Structure 1
Amino acid sequence: MRALIQRVSRAKVEVEERVTGEISQGLLILVCAMQDDTETEAEKLAARIAKLRIFKDDAGKMNRSVVDIGGACLVVSQFTLAADTTRGNRPGFSTAAPPDEGNRLYLHFSNILREMGLPVATGEFGADMAVSLVNDGPVTIWMDSTDRN
């Protein structure tokens, strides 16, 4: 799975002018299930993100996780994170998981974060969404479940 994580002071997602998810301080997580991903990748990536120390401590250093600060997560599915831009000007998305599997893993990823005690709001899988946020820092980090370092 791939994720783009943004530290936010607030974020929300709307579908057809209806708010489907909204958080204050925490993480906006754009997530994409890739072909051949399993629940294991979703679980590992969720655990890594929950422990990611990107919030400031009392000394002003990025040393606290979203769990440590009592923050929340807004998880939004985004298959375009699978974009292959190596040929031509139009990205290809064939490496993304098929929609049914992508949705299943997106929901599983969100539920794992909830099981870790994090408040989780979500977008709507497959919908045309409007995401708004105030990026705090800004801090934006790319993660992939295949990264081993």
Structure 2
Amino acid sequence: MIALIQRVTHASLKIDGAEYSRIGQGLVVLLGLERDDTLAAGEKLLGKVLDYRVFADSEGRMNGSVRDVGGAVMLVSQFTLAASTDKGLRPGFSSAMPPAEAEALYDQLVTWLQSEHPGTVTGEFGADMKVLLENDGPVSFILR
């Protein structure tokens, strides 16, 4: 499982040209699910996302988590993060979780994350989405 997190001042997500979700200050989390991922591993990773210190404290140091600053989270499924890019010029997706399994796990993770952090919004699994964001910093990290 791979999470690409981006600290944002605001973000919105559109599906078919219509706004689907929006957040202010917080994190956009792009989540790639791989074949052997589990709910327990996902809960652990998303717990780390919620506690990861990427927001500035009063001294300008990255000492605050999204929970600490009362920020929102936008969780977006992105299977391309699970791509194999080691060979050639075209990504391979054999390491990505099959769509039906991935959707079931993603839905469970959304439920868990929304219970842990009520300021959580999502995209729609499998949809063609447009994510508009203002990366604050820029600050981006890959968590596994």
Superposed pair shares fold, TM > 0.5:
yes
Local SS of the residue matching 1:96: coil
Which residue in 1 is equivalent to 2:132?
132
- Partners of 1:27 and 1:71 within 8 A in 2: yes
**TM-score, normalised with respect to structure 1:** 0.93
The reply on whether 1:119 has 2:119 as its aligned counterpart is yes
Q: Which residue is 2:9 aligned to?
A: 9
Mapped partners of 1:118, 1:58: distance in 2: 25
Q: Which residue is 2:76 aligned to?
A: 76
Q: TM-score, normalised by structure 2?
A: 0.96
- Pairing of 1:1-149 with structure 2 (within 5 A): 1-144=1-144
Tell me how far 1:109 sits from its aligned partner: 2.1
User: What displacement does 1:118 show?
Assistant: 3.5
How far did residue 108 of structure 1 move? 2.1
Separation of aligned partners in 1, 2:121 and 2:56: 23
Letter in 1 for 2:79: F
Query: How many pairs were matched up?
Result: 144
Query: What are the Cα deviations for residues 30-83 of structure 1, in whole angstroms up to 9, with x where unaligned?
Result: 001110111011100111000001000111110000000000000111000011
User: Is the 1:32–1:106 Cα contact (8 Å) retained in structure 2?
Assistant: no
Root-mean-square deviation (CA, aligned residues, Å) is 1.0
CA contact 1:83–1:91 (8 Å) conserved in 2: yes
1:86 shift after superposition = 1.4
Where in structure 2 are there 5+ consecutive unaligned residues? none
User: For 1:117 and 1:95, how far apart are their aligned partners in 2?
Assistant: 29
Kindly indicate whether the alpha-carbon contact (under 8 Å) linking 1:50 and 1:113 is maintained by their aligned counterparts in 2.
no
Say which SS state the counterpart of residue 53 (structure 1) adopts. coil
